[in-house]
Amino acid sequence: MHRYVRLMSVGEFERGILYLGNFSLRQQPQTVDQSQIGHVLHLICIAGQPKDAVGYNQQVRRKQQGKRMEEIRDTVILGSGCAGLTAAIYSARANLKPLVLEGHEPGGQLSITTMVENFPGWPDGIQGPELIENMKKQAARFGAEFKMSHLVSVDLATHPFQLKTSHGEIRTRTLIIASGASARWLGLPSEQALIGHGVSSCATCDGFFFNGHDIAVVGGGDTAMEESLFLTRFATKVYLLHRRESFRASKVMLERVIAHPKIEILTNTVVDEVLGVEEKSVSGLHVRNVKTQEKSVLPVTGFFLGIGHEPNAKMFNGQLDLDPEGYIITKDNVHTRVPGVFACGDVQDRRYRQAVTAAGTGCMAALEAEKYLEEHGR
């Protein structure tokens, strides 16, 4: 007697393609379209002779991987700071199922900020990392997907846009660039160890915490001038340190600094070390005159970097319009020259660079991406 044994896949039961004839003895099974088989562990035995299940499963897996590679996202967001996470919240609530690539600095500059007291809704302030984590949870709640990956290259000349990341290739109908701008640091180990503990790159963010203190600012451009003038609202004294005798700052800004009674300018001066690492609080600076090589200790409790920011937009050079300092040029708030590509936050904002303004432009970018998709038949 010939026996026929057939193990059915879950997919066959679900699709209603189970035939009673398949269980009868001496009867050949009816052919089933393999495209209807959904279970990767499906196994067929005919007259006791199994097909190559391993080879078949590999074929199914290849097809499924191919489908995943062909998946086209509605929107991909580059960056996970305030701008990127706000864009993620809005686009996720619009059912765009955004993919957020967290980048090489997850959380952006707020992730290295301690107390944030100027973000609306937190009367007692909130720690920067906690604010970022709350926003991330909020976006995930509505369906945003996060991936620890960074952009390697991008092709904006084709549509859908093609992104090559550190974890593979992605295609997307819209792209929201929220990759931010990284503060320029001196690169001293002691400086890095005290970021958020007396060392800061944002006077507007952290100046309030130094009320009644002596503080120092390093830099020679308009950024350093603006930081120094702003900090005079709180500090007892502000030392402006610059490694050269001449300044890159505009004449009007330099004149304001020179005329201010609270500011003392130290030229030809560099910082060799920030003191207070063991105490986790800035207690002074080891400074050196580059002409005389004379060394001394500057007794300050706050140290601000005013040497500018580096927008994280180099990968878009030649594909988007960038200004001389590398910031993405936008029109109508968040639109770039490429339809379907939007930029928000510090990567396009060289003026304000605040968490709340970044969040605002992140909202704009998400709304514009949603509108773009609607207009193009999503």
State phi, psi for 266 to the nearest 5 degrees.
-120, 105
Kindly state the tokens that stand for 212: 């009644």
Q: Is the peptide bond before 50 cis (omega within 30 degrees of 0)?
A: no
Q: Which token pair is 219?
A: 């830099």
Residues 76 and 70: their CA atoms lie apart, in Å, by 15
Q: Contact at 8 Å (CB) between 302 and 234?
A: no
Q: Is residue 336 within 8 Å of residue 327, measured between CB atoms?
A: no
Task: Give dist(CA 145, CA 347) in Å, integer.
Answer: 22
List 64's β-bridge partners, or say none: none
- Choosing from 206, 214, 346, 349, which is the catalytic residue? 206
| SS3 (DSSP) at 99 | strand
Is 344 a catalytic site residue? no
Whether 206 is a known active-site residue: answer: yes
Given the residues 45, 124, 155, 202, select the one marked as catalytic: 202
Q: How far apart are CA 162 and CA 70, in angstroms?
A: 11
Q: Is residue 267 exposed (0-12), middle (13-18) or buried (19+ Cβ within 10 Å)? A: middle
Contact 298, 289 (CB under 8 A): no
Cα separation, 151 vs 347, in Å, equals 15
Catalytic residue from among 205, 344, 346, 363: 205
Question: What are the catalytic residues?
Answer: 202, 205-206
